[in-house]
């Protein structure tokens, strides 16, 4: 077990940010991490680092000791007792059997010398290496160098190994003026104002404003604040995506202007009306359609000047419930850390598990290597557009958006995005005639006429399916707007099942805190027979292997082994036997209860001789009722991130989205589809 103490050199180092980014970076490599904050400042709020690590990363960590209580004990000569308690907290953390324990130190206070000493003593007590973290904000390269020399010297004097440093809020001077005698640099985090953008709800809470229209209060972010005290012409030119317009409530011209801009598709952060008034009823009525589109409208009794002063003092600290922003910060910080150099310096063991972060990273890398073309028939849908842009920029796939090019470009502009090179936008009307004959040929056994084919091709999903069937694209992703049936039906009619596949099924990739599990079938087949269940198991095992997950298949039932009887159990038992006959290379066992399949202690009791029990990675449910219920229960109750459903058994890759899919969901589904396209043999 490796121990790493993150030691800030002073205030404003962004300690929580660096700790979270470091955890994410190691997790992406598959290194199993644990987190410990031994001592925390006493506040009225829950300790930030501990709270965020628990809620965002799903890592259980003990409650830290209060700083004032620790200080009192140190002042009375009880440092050894304090360190004993630190070791006790560490022992609690170590029960998770991590590869690396990240220990967050305390911020040194020059008026309290014990704080710097305590970081040193904790490192010694836990046998931890030290990574120094400091802020480059308002500090020259020379100042940063001197601070690093001082802090490194304190640890080295106590025979504590300082393996490196990270500079937060860095600029070019902090790179050119570093010295060779300093611990090596493991990362430089440039200042990124986008990561400091609060939600409109955060501004509302800070100001203590009332809501005139809630809109998308918790979804929209404040990129810039515009004080509406000037002319309409001046103000109108500055109403851009992410703008929060602060204006007196009697400036009806500005209120109308902001509402109309919002109605035109520009996602403003909101309206904040000062002086305690409200627009008259006629103005509110005129703005109602615009406000219904999501524009938050807030009111406060304070005047414009007072609000301006308070907004200048708005904290950049991310709230503990702003998970989206936390995840963006983590990813940004992780991307700037030289993780491999850090791992090499620590001497960390190679990890064997596949964490959710490692799985997602692997998906992206596999998709980039695949270099496939994916068609998105819902090309006018904003989430789909944003996902396509991101996939194109990152090289995850070559994307095609089907839709009106002018409308799509307007949506891109209104959302403050840029159209990347290579992203194709195709007008469906210009394509349909190309696929009429091919569709008639495919459906001639159903006496499909050219006129009927032309009508069916008016559906963009059908058109996209024909593009895939004719090998003009490599995969298809739909479902952000359309139902599952609307996505799957054309695929079954036009693409059909792959050779050897008895049916089309689906899997979800469930990102549990420590690993990724594969659930199947949770979306397609209501009550598969034993033969169909065996086929689902084979398909799912192959899908898991293709995505980098070692398949250990558990056939789930309400009974384990021979303990139960009945038709439902017998179906699972027969399906297990069929898989063993057809694919001896697949490690499979069943019937197994869910706890026996996933929990080593239960497996030891219920199925001690099973090669799968307690360590299953692929769980096959006996019917759709069980599978869908289980996946949704786990997803919601355990706050698990799931990717899917991924369809399997088709001759060419088609994948369905949830209509509530986020941009990230769509991105990873596109990646899955691209990987599938490299596995399926063209027919």
Q: Which residues of the chain have pLDDT under 50?
A: 176-177, 349-352, 681-683
| Three-state DSSP state, 314 | coil
Tokens of 597: 């399949």
Instruction: State residue 680's pLDDT score.
Output: 59
Distance between CA atoms of residues 145 and 160, nearest Å: 19
Distance of CA 187 to the CA centre of its chain: 22
Phi, psi of 553 (to 5 degrees): -95, 125
Q: With b meaning 16 or more CB within 10 Å and e meaning fewer, what string describes 42-55?
A: eeeeebbbbbbbee
Tokens of 278: 């409200």
- What 466-472 contacts at long range (C-beta under 8 Å, 24+ apart), as own/partner pairs, is 466/435, 466/438, 466/439, 466/494, 467/375, 467/400, 467/431, 467/435, 468/375, 468/495, 468/652, 468/654, 469/438, 469/442, 469/494, 469/495, 469/652, 470/435, 470/438, 471/682
Torsional sign, CA 87, 93, 99, 105 = negative
Instruction: State residue 110's pLDDT score.
Output: 67
Distance between CA atoms of residues 458 and 428, nearest Å: 8
* DSSP letter string, 195-232: GGPPBHHHHHHHHTPEEEE-TTTTT-B-SEEEE--S-H
Tokens of 43: 């506040």
Cis peptide before 521 (omega within 30 of 0): yes
Residues 558 and 593: beta-carbon distance below 8 Å: yes
Tokens of 682: 């063209």
Could you tell me if residue 275 is left (phi over 0), alpha (psi between -120 and 50 degrees) or otherwise beta? left
Q: What is the 3-state secondary structure (H, E, C) of 484-538?
A: HHHHHHHHHHHCCECCCCCCCEEEEEEECCCCEEEEECCCCCCCCCHHHHHHHHH
Among all chains, which residue has been given the structure tokens 């991590």? 98
DSSP E strands in 323-470: the ranges are 373-376, 398-402, 424-426
Q: CA nearest 618: which of 554, 678, 525?
A: 554
Contacts of 534 (CB under 8 A, 6+ apart): 574, 575, 576, 578, 579, 582
Q: With b meaning 16 or more CB within 10 Å and e meaning fewer, what string describes 596-629?
A: bbbbeebbeebbeebebbbbbbbbbbbbbebbbe
Tokens of 210: 């009332």
Note the residue count of the chain: 683
Tokens of 284: 């509110």
Cα 666–672–676 angle (5° rounding)?
Answer: 140
Among all chains, which residue has been given the structure tokens 């006790």? 88
Give, for 380, the enclosing helix (H) or strand (E). none
Phi, psi of 420 (to 5 degrees): -75, 155
Distance between CA atoms of residues 464 and 68, nearest Å: 64
Tokens of 352: 């064997």
| Three-state DSSP state, 656 | strand
pTM: 0.69
Among all chains, which residue has been given the structure tokens 């219904």? 292
DSSP E strands in 335-492: the ranges are 373-376, 398-402, 424-426, 475-478
Tokens of 99: 């590869």
Instruction: State residue 196's pLDDT score.
Output: 87
Cis peptide before 549 (omega within 30 of 0): no
Distance between CA atoms of residues 72 and 67, nearest Å: 9
Instruction: State residue 351's pLDDT score.
Output: 38
Q: What is the pLDDT of residues 311-321, one digit of tens each?
A: 888 877 888 88
Distance, first Cα to last Cα, the chain: 51
Distance between CA atoms of residues 556 and 594, nearest Å: 6
Q: What is the DSSP letter of 337?
A: B
Distance between CA atoms of residues 170 and 16, nearest Å: 17
| Three-state DSSP state, 391 | helix
Residues 405 and 425: beta-carbon distance below 8 Å: yes
């Amino acid at each position: 077990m490796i121990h790493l103490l993150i030691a800030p050199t002073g205030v404003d180092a962004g300690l929580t940010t660096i700790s979270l980014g470091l955890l994410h970076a190691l997790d992406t490599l598959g290194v199993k991490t644990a987190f410990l904050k031994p001592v925390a400042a006493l506040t009225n709020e829950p300790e930030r680092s501990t709270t965020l690590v628990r809620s965002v990363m799903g890592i259980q960590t003990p409650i830290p000791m209060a700083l004032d209580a620790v200080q009192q004990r140190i002042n009375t000569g009880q440092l050894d007792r304090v360190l004993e308690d630190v070791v006790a907290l560490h022992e609690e953390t170590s029960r998770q059997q991590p590869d690396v324990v990240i220990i967050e130190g305390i911020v040194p206070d020059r008026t309290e010398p014990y704080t710097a000493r305590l970081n040193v003593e904790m490192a010694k007590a836990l046998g931890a290496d030290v990574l120094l973290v400091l802020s480059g904000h308002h500090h020259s390269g020379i100042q940063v160098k001197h601070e690093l020399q001082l802090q490194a010297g304190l640890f080295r004097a106590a025979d504590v190994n300082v393996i490196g440093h990270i500079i937060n809020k860095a600029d070019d001077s902090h790179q050119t003026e570093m010295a060779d005698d300093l611990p090596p640099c493991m990362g430089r985090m440039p200042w990124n104002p986008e990561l400091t953008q609060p939600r409109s709800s955060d501004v509302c809470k800070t100001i203590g404003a009332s809501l005139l229209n809630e809109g998308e209060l918790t979804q929209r972010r404040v990129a810039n604040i515009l004080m509406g005290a000037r002319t309409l012409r001046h103000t109108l030119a500055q109403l851009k995506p992410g703008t929060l317009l602060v204006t007196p409530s009697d400036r009806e011209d500005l209120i109308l202007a902001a509402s109309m801009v919002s109605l035109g598709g520009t996602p403003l952060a909101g309206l904040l009306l000062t002086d305690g008034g409200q627009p008259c009823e006629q103005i509110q009525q005129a703005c109602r359609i615009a406000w219904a589109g999501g524009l938050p409208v807030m009111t406060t009794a304070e005047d414009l000047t007072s609000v301006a002063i308070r907004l200048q003092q708005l904290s950049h600290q991310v709230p503990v419930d702003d998970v989206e922003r936390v995840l963006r910060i983590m990813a940004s910080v992780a991307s700037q850390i030289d993780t491999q150099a850090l791992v090499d310096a620590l001497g960390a063991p190679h990890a064997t598990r596949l964490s959710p972060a490692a799985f997602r990273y692997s998906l992206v890398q596999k998709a980039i290597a695949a270099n496939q073309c994916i068609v998105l028939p819902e090309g006018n849908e904003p989430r789909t557009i944003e996902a396509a842009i991101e996939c194109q920029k990152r090289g995850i796939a070559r994307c095609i958006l089907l839709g009106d090019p002018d409308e799509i470009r307007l949506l891109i502009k209104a959302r403050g995005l840029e159209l990347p090179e290579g992203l194709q936008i195709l007008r469906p009307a210009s394509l349909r005639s190309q696929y009429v004959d091919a569709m008639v040929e495919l459906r001639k056994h159903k006496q499909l006429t050219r006129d009927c084919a032309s009508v069916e091709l008016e559906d963009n999903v059908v058109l996209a399916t024909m593009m895939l069937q004719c090998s003009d694209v490599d995969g298809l992703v739909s479902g952000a707007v359309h139902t599952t049936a609307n996505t799957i039906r054309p695929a079954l009619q036009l693409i059909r099942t792959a050779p050897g596949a008895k049916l089309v099924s689906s899997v979800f990739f469930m990102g549990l805190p420590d690993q990724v599990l594969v659930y199947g079938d949770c979306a397609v087949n209501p009550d598969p027979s034993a033969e169909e269940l065996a086929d689902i198991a084979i398909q799912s095992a192959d899908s898991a292997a293709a995505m980098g997950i070692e398949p250990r298949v558990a056939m789930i039932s309400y009974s384990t082994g021979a303990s139960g009887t009945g038709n439902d159990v017998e179906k699972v038992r027969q399906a297990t036997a069929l898989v063993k006959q057809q694919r001896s290379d697949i490690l499979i066992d069943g019937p197994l209860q869910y706890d026996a399949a996933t929990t080593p202690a239960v497996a030891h009791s219920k199925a001690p001789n099973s090669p799968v029990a307690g360590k299953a990675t692929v769980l096959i449910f006996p019917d759709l009722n069980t599978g869908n219920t289980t996946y949704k229960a786990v997803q919601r109750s355990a706050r698990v991130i799931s990717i899917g459903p991924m369809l399997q058994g088709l001759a060419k890759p088609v994948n369905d989205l949830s209509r509530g899919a986020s941009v990230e969901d769509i991105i990873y589904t596109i990646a899955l589809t691209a990987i599938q396209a490299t596995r399926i043999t063209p027919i």
